[in-house]
Structure 1
Amino acid sequence: MEPPEPLSGWAPQSPAQTLPEHPLLLGRYRVVETRGTGGFGSVKVCWDIRLERRVAIKCLPLSQAPEASASTLSEALDEARITSRLTHPNIVTVHDFEVENGCAYLIMEFVDGLTLAELMARVEGGVLTYDESAHLLDSLADALDYAHGQGVLHLDIKPSNIFIDTTGAVKLGDFGMASLASAAGWEGARGGTVGYMPPEQLQCSLVDERTDVFSLAVVLYQALTGTSPFAAKDAEASLKKIVRGAKPLSKVEPELAGPVSDGLTRALSADVGERPTSAGKLAQTLIPYLGDEMEGRQSVASLLSQASGETGPDEQAWDDAARVSLVERWPWLPGAMLRATSALTCAGAAARMAPATAPHLAALLPAGALVPVCALALATAGAALPEAGGALACVLAVMAVAAPGVYSPAFLVAGVVGLALLGWRANTAGAGRLVHAALLLPVALTSPVGGVALAGGTLRPKPAALTAAAGAALQLLLARTLGAATGVDVAYAALGMLASPAAWVVVAGTAASAWLCALVSAGGGTGRRCVGQMLGGAAAIAALALARRVENGGLWAAPAASDIAVAVVCAVLVMIATLTLGPVCQPREDD
């Protein structure tokens, strides 16, 4: 059975499949089209967002060859890396080589054109003119002589690995892929494709430059006659045909009798010693009697111009792929924004709570340095480890409540606050790295609705509601207890908050607002998330207005301007972050 034919890569074997989205491959290549899926890999036409150029990426899944030894794969990958150093106008340029997640990736130049196989399929009888064949031979011989001079064999020369761009330039691609495929366990022979391999390659014997000369001669014979002389169902059948010999070219094309026919017969010989020692010598023997290579290039370019619009993605597809988001251009930006948000929130909360802890920290820090030192310490912790910085801020909040005295009622209130925070954390574990920031924002901004936008925009509905409620309750409690002179004052302040219907309305309203925001945002795009922020902000302001009505005995009154400003500004900032950095809301819970 004939081994699977390796994929050719930069012109479609069948109608290209345009992807509905443009994912990034290897973190920098926007996939525009996937072509030629099958065989032992695939080719993806991509836009390099970093260097802003068109590339083709050949993907070879190494993980599907478990029988291949690590040393064998390592040697093959080393060979593929060596081929990436080849620089020649008639060789497809390899820009880079990567191995990631069990796949080898060859990043190459994108050739806007057709393969030789596709070109021959378009012309009558699958035959090129003598001039076109001369141009083909001249280009490929130059490419092979250069590669052989660098110590690199191709070992898989065939029409589908030969590319012709819209200017008529011929380029040889897939250097090193045949050996890599063989080492990965995809081919029974030493790489290559049955019908184009000479006996020594079919029999896994010693190969050299004359192996590539044989394959080049097969391609030229096919271009001149429209038939592949040694095509067969398997390696054994192909070997028998090679030993028997190809039909002399003079009998198929009488005009080529003489040097061309004789030279091609020697190059197709089963005996390695009969073949020319280099591709260049083959070209020197045949081209003077074959045709004018310059005329051939112009003719090929004319044929390619007739395929305009069929050789690659249209310009609109490239324009769409070239649109690079901030996150794609600077992948570190979301992480930096997360850490900055955590740091600023921890610093703001510390600045508000630190003065109350002065009795406990007086022995360690002078009064004037207390606030800046605490703010800097928590900001640093919040930037380095957002969860740790948030936890320290929660500890500071408990200390601030207990400040009037360890043996006073304030200590009991602080204990209840600590237990409540532990319960909140237990119910929001795994909710996200911004959960502490959403809890502490109301404290830092001195507004109970300060955490609605962040919690609703970054958390699932349940943890968003719990976090917004906990943040509002903590802010309302600290607003009443910070600066209390005695532990009794702290206790009365806490009881007063618990007895206040308006405070309960605010806590419940912020929870409902964050839940609504997260519910609308979950699973949607940026537009839906912006709508969620607007609804959440409006609900928070409505909750504040309702609390004022309850507090005023049934009379409606506008909420404090500062609270309205906090709700609006926070919602706008989260919307801006969503539009520029992309959605950060976690998947919606089913419960």
Structure 2
Amino acid sequence: MAGKQLILDRYRPMSEAGAGGFATVQVAWDTQMRRKVAIKCIELPKVSPDSSNQVAPADQPKAARHTRVEGEAAPSAPTQVARLEDIPPWEDVPEDAGAAAPSALAALPGDFASGFGPDCGPVGSGDFENNEGPEDFCSLDDPLASDIPGLAEARAIAQFSDANIVTVYNFEVKDSTAYLIMEYVEGTTLERFLREHDGDLTLDVVAHVFSSIAHALEVAHSHNVLHLDIKPANVLINRQGEVKVTDFGLATLADANGTGRAGGGTIGYMPPEQMRSEALDVRCDEWALASLTYEMLVGDNPFFARDLPRAAAAIENAELVLPSLCWDDVEEGIDDVMFYALDPDPAERYATVREFDEELMPYLGDVKAGKAELSRLVNGVDGEGEDEDGEGEPAPAAPRVPLVDHLTPRVMAVVARVVSVAAAALVGAVALVNFPAFGPGVFSNPVFWGLLAAVCVLAAIKPHVGALASFAILGVSLTANGAYAPGILLFLGTVAWWWFAARGSDAPAVAALLGPLSGAVGFAPLSPVVAGSLIVSVARAAATAAFAGLCALALGSLGTSGMIDWNAPMYWDYATMSGAVSAGSNAVADPDAVASAVLSSTGIGAQTQARLGGMLLKPGTWCVFASWVIAAAAMSALSRWGMSRKVDVAAALVGTVVLVLGVCAAAWAANPASWTPPSTMALIGSIVPGLVGVVLAALGIPDKIRQ
């Protein structure tokens, strides 16, 4: 894990986008899908069962109320409590109970409002006329529908996908928090844009913003969803100039008559019928869109007030500025269109948002030009912004994606297969070159190259199958050369390890294959370090480390008589070593001549078995072997317990200490009476693999691979 605890064990927090009421919005990195997301984190209040469906009283904190006035919750009078569970299912829900449904559990103010009415379940056919009634959508007995904030929002948006609507990816509840995972939009809000660039607004920009929101509402309405909280803060603009509607926190599903009820709203963008908690239809969203558009055209919203009664009075008695007077090139007909949509009486408005859109767009500018202009402006307002002279507070840097997060699953799979192929090729080549059946001219034998290629292909496709093939062939090769003890032990150990620990999993295979590869240059303990880092199961990690120790014993018996270094450059042609040395020859330059010496070699099996027996009789060998198994098991156990980057680093340090103690114990076992420190090569061979594990853990790679 990188620095911070993952949200839902998947999302890496990067920054906080905002907070309000019981909710915050986090910008996070999806470690599985490799993308930024926005996560609305909604704290679930602790409410007794008797009060779970009550209306928030007047003295309740403003975070639990439903209305807002320019960023603050509006005061409300005490309301009689209506509990939904007290209403028989065969009776209609009274209006006061419908208003109460959102409750303190569901109502969040402002940008993070999550109240919802009783209509919140699965959508019907998408056609108002084909639905029989509200009961088709959800049951009041559904605890998820009435008690979990954000679920209605997730259900509402999950019904449709559109470029002008922020996508919801998932909704989960863990412990006392509900998480709504949404598309991350990099840019700004319309509220902030209007505040900072009111003077740069053109009819082209207004046309693009208006048409985008209208289209989003048409899509929502076509799925029987009413947004009920359209306002500048709920409109996002990305760097490409695209406009997206977000926060369906107050959204509700329409019933058979095309109406629904709201659990709140925002003063200034809320029509009178929404304030009165009446049945609402698409004309409620139309009025909110008209209010927002009027604000863009005139530069002011005349419907702001301190409370609901004053807001209702402002709508009824407002002296509206004619939009046509604010623009030199706008015809007077725009005034009538706007006033129709802003009429306090829903019956006097346009029947649908589409009609409003068709009537208003001829008076506005060019949508395409507006998008390009909006993109240019938004790219200059992200962050705190600067004034025209370049002064002011500089924009904060965008959140940086951790380096490790650039390692996609595909990249990691490629790296694992490259390592597997390299190791399998080394083990397979050593086994096949020394196989007596090939005889002289092994490098000219197409069968040799065909078998080696097959081992490499298996390792590339399935590393665990490639590991099984390469180690098994090495066991057969040792046995064929008369080294029966190491050959049979390696073959049987390979089959047992593969069946119980590596079958169907690549992590144990990669860890085991790293043993011969790193041991060829003196760093064989890298195998148990990687096993402990990548394998979550403690038993499988320990088994893989034990198998790596068995491989080290078999390879060490070829000449070095040690587990940490088997010296591949010298002992890869182990079957010819006895014959070459007895002839007084050093390394033979001609590979075919080396291979031809196989038939004339004598005593290689006996020598190999003698070395293995000598290693097994040394207590120091068992000290090193035990340190490998303990290091891998300890690292796996610690990583599994903590599942964080810091814990992974600590686990790697513990593994390093165990490996060093192992070689120190081996040095003591060699001479208990007069202990001497282990050799420099033994210490380096144990410390370097441990430090590699520390670096990998510090980068978060084990955490990433385990996910």
Report the AA paired with residue 481 of structure 2: P
Structure 2 CA distance for partners of 1:564 and 1:508, relative to 1, 3 Å: same
Aligned to 2:542: 465
Find 2:697's aligned residue among 565, 571, 578.
Answer: 578
| Equivalence map 1:141-160=2 (5 Å) | 143-144=209-210, 152=218, 160=230
How many angstroms apart in 1 are the aligned matches of 2:433 and 2:510? 21
Report the AA paired with residue 695 of structure 2: I
Structure 2 CA distance for partners of 1:251 and 1:403, relative to 1, 3 Å: closer
Aligned to 2:623: 505
Aligned to 1:422: 495
Percent of pairs with identical residues = 14
Aligned to 1:68: 123
Secondary structure at the counterpart of residue 111 of structure 1 = strand
How many angstroms apart in 2 are the aligned matches of 1:247 and 1:463? 72
Report the AA paired with residue 466 of structure 1: A
Secondary structure at the counterpart of residue 224 of structure 1 = coil
Secondary structure at the counterpart of residue 435 of structure 2 = helix
Greater share of helix? 1
Aligned to 1:336: 414
Aligned to 1:292: none
Structure 2 CA distance for partners of 1:26 and 1:507, relative to 1, 3 Å: closer
Q: State the shift of 1:449 in Å.
A: 3.2
| Equivalence map 1:220-239=2 (5 Å) | 223-224=301-302, 226=304
| Equivalence map 1:507-586=2 (5 Å) | 507-522=625-640, 523=642, 525-551=644-670, 554=673, 556-557=675-676, 559=678, 561-584=680-703
How many angstroms apart in 1 are the aligned matches of 2:704 and 2:290? 60
Structure 2 CA distance for partners of 1:374 and 1:540, relative to 1, 3 Å: farther
Q: Which runs of 5+ in 2 are unaligned?
A: 1-16, 45-101, 128-136, 138-155, 173-179, 323-331, 364-383, 386-392, 559-573, 576-601
Report the AA paired with residue 574 of structure 1: G
Secondary structure at the counterpart of residue 27 of structure 1 = coil
Indicate if the aligned counterparts of 1:11 and 1:115 stay in contact, CA closer than 8 A.
no
Secondary structure at the counterpart of residue 557 of structure 2 = helix
How many angstroms apart in 2 are the aligned matches of 1:431 and 1:330? 21
Matched, 1:174 2:255: no
Structure 2 CA distance for partners of 1:549 and 1:348, relative to 1, 3 Å: farther
Find 2:532's aligned residue among 456, 465, 477.
Answer: 456
How many angstroms apart in 2 are the aligned matches of 1:369 and 1:57? 69
Indicate if the aligned counterparts of 1:456 and 1:515 stay in contact, CA closer than 8 A.
yes
Aligned to 1:17: 24
Report the AA paired with residue 434 of structure 2: A
Structure 2 CA distance for partners of 1:32 and 1:549, relative to 1, 3 Å: same
Indicate if the aligned counterparts of 1:456 and 1:516 stay in contact, CA closer than 8 A.
yes
How many residues align? The count is: 486
How many angstroms apart in 2 are the aligned matches of 1:224 and 1:67? 38
How many angstroms apart in 2 are the aligned matches of 1:456 and 1:224? 66
Secondary structure at the counterpart of residue 512 of structure 2 = helix
Q: State the shift of 1:535 in Å.
A: 4.0
Q: TM-score w.r.t. structure 2 length? A: 0.51
Indicate if the aligned counterparts of 1:449 and 1:563 stay in contact, CA closer than 8 A.
no
Indicate if the aligned counterparts of 1:452 and 1:537 stay in contact, CA closer than 8 A.
no
Aligned to 1:383: 460
Report the AA paired with residue 649 of structure 2: C
Aligned to 1:125: none
Aligned to 2:511: 438
Aligned to 2:379: none
Q: Which runs of 5+ in 1 are unaligned?
A: 1-9, 44-55, 85-93, 120-131, 232-245, 286-306, 309-314
Indicate if the aligned counterparts of 2:464 and 2:505 stay in contact, CA closer than 8 A.
no
Structure 2 CA distance for partners of 1:487 and 1:42, relative to 1, 3 Å: farther
Aligned to 1:480: 557
Q: State the shift of 1:435 in Å.
A: 1.5
How many angstroms apart in 1 are the aligned matches of 2:494 and 2:659? 22
Indicate if the aligned counterparts of 1:468 and 1:514 stay in contact, CA closer than 8 A.
yes
Aligned to 1:34: 40
Q: Which 10-residue stretch deviates more, 433-442 or 421-430?
A: 421-430
How many angstroms apart in 2 are the aligned matches of 1:473 and 1:247? 86
Report the AA paired with residue 34 of structure 1: K
Q: State the shift of 1:491 in Å.
A: 5.2
Q: State the shift of 1:216 in Å.
A: 4.9
Find 1:111's aligned residue among 182, 188, 204.
Answer: 188
How many angstroms apart in 1 are the aligned matches of 2:406 and 2:255? 33
How many angstroms apart in 2 are the aligned matches of 1:228 and 1:204? 23
| Equivalence map 1:267-306=2 (5 Å) | 267-271=343-347, 278=356
How many angstroms apart in 2 are the aligned matches of 1:516 and 1:175? 47
Report the AA paired with residue 422 of structure 2: L
How many angstroms apart in 1 are the aligned matches of 2:25 and 2:285? 35
Indicate if the aligned counterparts of 1:24 and 1:31 stay in contact, CA closer than 8 A.
yes
Aligned to 1:301: none
Indicate if the aligned counterparts of 1:350 and 1:396 stay in contact, CA closer than 8 A.
yes
Indicate if the aligned counterparts of 1:81 and 1:97 stay in contact, CA closer than 8 A.
yes
CA deviations over 1:215-274 (Å, ceiling 9, x no partner): 55677799535579999xxxxxxxxxxxxxx98978566999xx9999847944554588
Q: State the shift of 1:105 in Å.
A: 4.9
How many angstroms apart in 2 are the aligned matches of 1:560 and 1:25? 43
Secondary structure at the counterpart of residue 33 of structure 2 = coil
Q: State the shift of 1:462 in Å.
A: 3.8
Q: State the shift of 1:388 in Å.
A: 1.0
Q: State the shift of 1:471 in Å.
A: 1.7
How many angstroms apart in 2 are the aligned matches of 1:280 and 1:322? 43
How many angstroms apart in 1 are the aligned matches of 2:703 and 2:236? 44
CA deviations over 1:142-196 (Å, ceiling 9, x no partner): 85467769995776576643349999xxx986389799964899x9549999974
